[in-house]
Amino acid sequence: MRFYLIDSVLRDSSKEECLSSDLPRIIVVTREEWDAYHDELMPGVEHNRIPAVIHSSKAEEHFYCLTGTFSVPNRNKPSSIKESFAFVIDPSGMLIADDSGAVNGYLAKIKENMHWNHPCLERFIYDFMDQMIGGDVEMLERYERRLDEIEKDILEERDSERLKRMSSVRSDLRELRIHYEQLIDMCQEFEENTNGFFQEENLRYFHMSTSRVERLYNSSGSLRDYTMQLNDLYRAQSDRKQNRIMTALTVITAIFMPLTLIVGWYGMNFIYMPELTSPYGYPAVIVGSLLIVIVGLVYFHKKNWL
């Protein structure tokens, strides 16, 4: 268990000081510690308010507390395993149950970087959520650069793995979009403040969080639309390539059809064919065949079919 008090900074505290102080408190426990000490840490909050399995980010208001869960995508691979933890908020502060270790990293950064002129639980939650989405703008920019590279590969007909790469990016962006949508719903739930757990003058922090997450949500949506456009571009390029192949085959067929006619014509079993006895017959057929090929190539080139 780790105990903190929200003062001008987020400072470490002992268990006794934390539970007896009038300052807003932050308590971080594991699931096992919550099972053992929930009555002492959060009197009146039922044990089952922290779920055993977490699938999404959400918040729920109750008469005496506000509970919820966070399911945060891995920034290196959003569609892979997520960081999951739960929380309980009551008038005294916030308890977080985390087995992943992610929360301690978030709190360490808050302790190091944040100094508050007007410390309050609402500002702490704003900074805590800011840690969860910190660096996401740069991450989305990296995805955009990856999509630009895929677009270049499609146009230059390089890299046979581009479809697989594009599918992976689209899957990651879908997970991020779902995550941002859930965070928006959570911030709006906080901002509604149905049971008055938060101070009215501090609800602006939740509005600020909502605005930041909405921008990320819109950006991820734009990038996902970009992947769909790239998919259409890939199909168009594939159709264009097939059309070029069919055009080449058509031109070859058109050129050799007269030659096939000549072969069939002179392959007939007639003895009274003047060209058969002429010493110039064979060279004449060769020259005629070459002229047919040359004329055909020049004609199709002028028509831009070659």
Please identify, among 194, 219, 238, the residue that sits at the C-terminal boundary of a domain: 238
Q: Are residues 22 and 37 in the same domain?
A: yes
Task: Supply the range of the domain harboring residue 282.
Answer: 243-302
Please identify, among 198, 213, 238, the residue that sits at the C-terminal boundary of a domain: 238
* Cα torsion angle, 293, 296, 298, 301, sign: negative
The pLDDT, as a whole number, for residue 163 is 72
Q: Which CATH number do you get for residue 162?
A: 3.30.460.20
Q: Which CATH number do you get for residue 287?
A: 1.20.58.340
Q: Are residues 249 and 276 in the same domain?
A: yes
pLDDT tens, residue order, the chain (306 aa): 899 999 999 999 998 998 888 999 999 999 888 888 888 888 877 777 788 788 889 998 888 888 999 988 887 777 677 788 999 998 888 999 998 888 999 999 999 988 988 889 999 999 999 998 888 899 999 989 988 888 888 777 776 666 777 888 888 899 899 999 999 999 999 998 888 888 899 999 999 999 999 999 999 999 988 888 888 887 777 777 787 778 778 878 877 888 888 887 777 777 777 777 777 777 877 888 888 888 877 877 777 766
Q: Are residues 169 and 232 in the same domain?
A: yes
Q: Are residues 94 and 218 in the same domain?
A: yes
Please give the model's pTM, rounded to 2 decimal places: 0.77
The pLDDT, as a whole number, for residue 123 is 93
Please identify, among 213, 238, 263, the residue that sits at the C-terminal boundary of a domain: 238
The pLDDT, as a whole number, for residue 296 is 78
Q: Are residues 45 and 131 in the same domain?
A: yes
Q: Are residues 52 and 122 in the same domain?
A: yes
The pLDDT, as a whole number, for residue 183 is 94
